[in-house]
Amino acid sequence: MLGLVFVLPLIDKFENRRLMLVTLPASVPTLAMAALAPGRVTLLTASFLVGATSCGLQMIVVMAATLSNEAERGQVVGRVMSGLILGVLLSRPAGSLIAGALGWRAVYATSAIAVAILMMMLARSLPVYRPQSPVGYFESLASLLPLVTREPVLRRRRPIRRC
């Protein structure tokens, strides 16, 4: 969550390819830290850092929207989002299979390896794009507050149902 709020807006200020190739490698050691955590405090710290550094893939959505022409933008973003959602949906059963066979630490280790491989693939295929945004980083962050106050759906919270 912190990565989405504080790191993702940097995509409007910095060269996109480089930002992604800095953010993704930052998540590899945090995932490894979680896999090797000797205790709860280290695991919780690693989990926090994984959440803070795991916004690199969401940057791909922004980059795809920016680089596609206006006539095809919805289709391109839909394809990228479909891939991300499919990955999220398949990660749970894959994680369960890995944890069942090798233990919970293997899930984090496998994730670290997968992110490292993805990073290498993206380093070869992502184009360089320098945004020309006139809006500053802090202005971008400040724009979130009015959005939350204007959009009731962002304020809605559903109660957690116990099974």
Predicted TM-score of the model (pTM)? 0.76
Give the closest residue to 147 by CA, choosing from 5, 39, 37.
5
d(CA 138, CA 125): 31
For residue 132, pLDDT beyond 90: no
Share above pLDDT 70 across residues of the chain, in percent, rounded to a whole number: 93
> Hey, what are 116's tokens?
């490292």
The mean predicted confidence, pLDDT, of the chain is: 86
Give the closest residue to 68 by CA, choosing from 81, 84, 50, 56.
81
Q: Give the tens place of pLDDT for each residue, 21-64.
A: 888 888 999 999 999 999 999 999 999 999 888 888 888 888 88
Best-predicted range by mean pLDDT (14-18, 57-61, 63-67, 75-79): 75-79
Q: What residue spans of the chain are helical by DSSP H?
A: 2, 16-35, 40-53, 56-67, 73-102, 104-125, 137-142, 144-150, 152-155
What's residue 6's pLDDT?
Answer: 76
Residue pair 27/56 in contact (Cβ under 8 Å)? The answer is: yes
> Hey, what are 134's tokens?
């006139």
**2-134, which class in CATH?**
mainly alpha
